[in-house]
């Protein structure tokens, strides 16, 4: 076998892996990282607006770092630099708000 044939065979065996990495701020919703956002404040606002927070005092964690998309599960998986930086809490309903909900 010539050296050229060996090189051709080796080049056919090279596998290219495309890693989709996303870096920024994320919030965690049902074990899924949602984002990325440019700032932690944007992630916090999105968490409040988009999360299904329905229990007063319920929180959503805000993270900063890098995630990699797992093509098999279609989930963003955190890498070693991911850190929780904050959390947002569902606003507590005031007693006056609850009383007015029953009035029609």
Contact at 8 Å (CB) between 32 and 74?
Answer: no
- Using CA atoms, how far apart are residues 79 and 82, in angstroms rounded to an integer? 6
pTM reported for the whole predicted model:
0.66
- Using CA atoms, how far apart are residues 104 and 86, in angstroms rounded to an integer? 38
Contact at 8 Å (CB) between 77 and 56?
Answer: no
Phi and psi at 80, nearest 5°, equal: -60, -20
Domain coordinates of the chain in residue numbers? 18-99
- Tokens standing for 100? 């007015």
Per-residue confidence in pLDDT tens, the chain, 104 aa: 566 666 566 655 655 556 789 999 999 888 889 999 999 999 999 988 887 766 666 778 999 999 999 989 989 999 999 999 998 887 665 544 444 445 44
């Amino acid at each position: 076998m010539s050296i050229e044939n060996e090189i051709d065979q080796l080049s056919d065996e090279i596998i290219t892996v495309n890693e989709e990495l996303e870096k920024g701020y994320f919030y965690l919703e049902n074990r899924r990282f949602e984002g990325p956002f440019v700032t932690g404040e944007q992630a916090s606002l999105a968490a409040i607006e988009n999360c299904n927070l329905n229990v007063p005092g319920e929180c959503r964690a805000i993270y900063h770092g890098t995630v990699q998309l797992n093509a098999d599960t279609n989930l963003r998986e955190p890498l070693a630099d991911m850190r929780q930086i904050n959390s947002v809490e569902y606003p507590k309903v005031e007693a006056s708000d609850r009383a007015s909900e029953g009035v029609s």
